[in-house]
Amino acid sequence: MKKSSILPKLYITTGIVMFIFCSGCFCFIPLSSADSSIENTTAISENSTKTDSDSQDTISTQEIKINENIFAGEKADDNATDKTTGEDKLDSFYDQTTVLFRGAVYKTDMFLSASNEDDIYPLNSSRFNVTTGLKIEDNNGTPLKLDFNISADINLPKTEDRLGIFLETTAPEALPGRNPDEVDDALYVGLRSTLGPRKIPFGSVRVGVKARIPPVLYTELLFRKKVSRGRLHIVPQIKGFWLSDDGFGQITSVVFEWWPDDAFVTSSLTAAKWGDVTTGVEWEQSFRIGYKIGKEFKQHPQSVWGKCSVFGYKTGTGIIDKYRLSLEHRRLIYRQWLFFYLGPELEYRNESDWEPIPALRFGFDMLFWEL
């Protein structure tokens, strides 16, 4: 990781962690209370419409006005009693973040469509999560590495979800198995358009920028198809991309996933990348074994994972440059949106004469789904 990228990560991560600790509840929330809260109904917001978990959100005219006020920076009236507990502050943070992004979706949707402002329309859940963590590595180089990742893919309802906004810090031109601290950490933002039938899309087009000075233009064309045969799922994917500073490139991958039962899963990932700035053809082979604990929450269940990865490149002769063994435990610690992850890691690198490099990775994952 480039040294110049450590400071921005440090500032952002420190701000999030300080907010969490100032709320005074991370160190005092028992895991048992997190599990019991799963069974209870979560209040989204006093000004938001309650829905069942299996139904789509619907924005009322009153809620639209609230969203507009918050998105414009205006303070909404709050006649409720002052919130003093750490749990209340976390709930308030979640509610305000959710309403803020609802307002952003609404504003963008109104700008890109010609519909009447008073129309009431369903607002489908969109993917948005923030991960912040730390890697402690026993190495002669940098012993501490910060993990900070934003990943959002927000649908625009009035376009029938065919158009959306993407925002992420994981470099889309990186191999899928690379850790956040190993790749370019710039912010990518832009528009995404779905290809194919609405219910069964087969790909997407993304156009945006990499947030740098000067900005870097970015485009991507992706084709993806999921084939299922009983408990076996096969997902081939081809992604072509272009950046105004690094030129053209392509990543091809295929995932094999097998579920012997509803809780146990094994998977294999094979990926290859080539481009104007790669060292020949860069490749990755990963195997994972996982066990799902308890209920599943969207795509982030409580789980235990073991993973083995091999990375290399080919420029006439094949060369392996890294082996990695890792174990991760992911645990829900509050409501249905705040996770904690922890796991050891062991790497063998060609550049370090294959000496074992142990590490520990831990952090928090915040999921904001109902946007």
Q: Which domains does the chain have, with CATH numbers?
A: 3-40+124-367 (2.40.160.40)
Question: What is the predicted pLDDT for the residue at 74?
Answer: 43
Cα 186 to Cα 189: distance, rounded to the nearest angstrom: 10
pLDDT of 86 > 60? The answer is: yes
Closest CA to 303 of 332, 325, 338: 332
* pLDDT over threshold 80, residue 78: no
The pLDDT assigned to 91 comes to 85
Tokens encoding 198: 């609405």
pLDDT score at 116: 55
How confident is residue 205, by pLDDT bands cut at 50, 70 and 90? very high
In this prediction the pTM is 0.70
Residue 9 has pLDDT above 50, yes or no: no
Q: Is the pLDDT of residue 304 over 50?
A: yes
The pLDDT value given to residue 120:
47
Higher-confidence residue of 268 and 334: namely 268
Please report the pLDDT score of residue 56 as a whole number. Answer: 39
Contact 295, 263 (CB under 8 A): no
Query: What confidence tens digit (pLDDT) does each residue in 92-148 have?
Result: 888 888 777 777 777 777 776 655 555 545 555 567 888 888 888 887 766 788 878
Per-residue pLDDT, 121: 54
Mean pLDDT confidence for 289-313 = 83
Q: Is the pLDDT of residue 296 over 70?
A: no
